[in-house]
Chains A and B, each alone.
Chain A
């Protein structure tokens, strides 16, 4: 009986990690990329580059730098928590920082590796939010994130080219906050 339960739980885990025929990988494990980035934070447009490394399934290292090269933000997602390594004043306020870090996990679909992520097929649950993914030819094209009031609170979109993602974006409904990323080197 125990063996049967073990096999069943292993099968359930593998199904949850990735639904068959659906590609939700944005930056594969072990890969790194640099994106042209535009952060719109409450009316201020901050442009620069976002460097991202998907080190392990529980580790995502992110740095946002200005075109002149100076650091604006450096953060690391490790074992389910963000560690702030550096953040410029404009990005270090609690509300903005929490919103931005959650958006980065959403953009890179890194929530799928979090223990709290649940896959119910057409609907996902993560961090007390309901997520409605859309696919085109098995590839993730958008995710609507519905907050507690059951209204769409933000939308992640993936513009796909022939063999890569040309643009990733997240936009908040009813709040002036958005992030747009374009890869410099197509992966």
Chain B
């Protein structure tokens, strides 16, 4: 039993350290106001995406890869190339979907798509930080800024349990978004090669 206690502490201590890595930050902290103002100054953002969906009952993860392009205001091209071709095109108030070369009509799925649109755009341009539909907690580990959002409304809670958005402190670059389903399953979206304020061909938001 005496031998078991140090072994137990050895196991638990790294978790304790990891939990302490993130320190909460007040909404009025200059770090956050700086992040908001940098994001507000970005006219365009583009980069690569790698989405990893974990299933609680599977050993395998579902990995999707592609690119995203964002242009102020509210123009987004979210394109998965693998394992299937899947494009979401948002151009202000319109939203279109294409899967493996075919444009899809999503009658009856509008509520889900509206939420998807609000979450993706909100994470990229940072507007989700001020979204009154979510209870928000800010934290930092020194290198990154993390925003944890939990929906307040019942219909949103049925759709998502929590959203974690991480930005690099240096340059306010979007690093990772984690979506936690009501079932507890998690989807991690990793962003890489992120570039801001680059010229993007407007036609890429107009059509597939």
Contacts and interface: CB of A to CB of B under 8 A. Distances in A.
A joins B in a complex: yes
A32 interface: yes
B71 interface: no
B59 A70 contact: no
Contact of B109 (A32, A34, A44, A51): A44
A105 B205 CA distance: 41
B55 A67 contact: no
Contacts of B154: none
Interface stretch (B2-10, B141-149, B166-174, B175-183): B175-183
B60 A32 contact: yes
A96 B62 CA distance: 26
B104 A85 contact: no
B181 A32 contact: no
B112 A69 contact: no
A90 B113 CA distance: 13
Interface in B111-139: 111-112, 116
Nearest to B186: A69
B58 A51 contact: yes
Interface stretch (B13-21, B31-39, B79-87): B79-87
Q: How large is the interface on B (under 10, 10 to 19, 20 to 34, 35 or more residues)?
A: 20 to 34
A63 B104 CA distance: 22
Contact of B112 (A51, A63, A66, A74): A66
Interface of A: 32, 34, 36, 43-47, 49, 51, 53, 55, 61, 63, 65-71, 74, 85-86, 88-90, 184-185
Given A51-B55, A69-B53, 12 more contacts: A34-B62, A47-B86, A53-B58, A63-B57, A65-B185, A66-B116, A67-B99, A68-B88, A70-B112, A71-B185, A85-B183, A89-B111
Given A34-B62, A53-B57, A71 B181 contact: yes
A63 B185 contact: yes
A90 B183 contact: no
Nearest to B179: A69
B200 to A, nearest CB: 22
A70 B187 contact: yes
Contacts of A34: 58, 60, 62
Between B58, B105, B106, B159, the greatest number of chain A beta carbons within 10 A of the residue's beta carbon is seen for B58
A114 B183 CA distance: 27
Given A34-B60, A86-B182, A68 B116 contact: yes
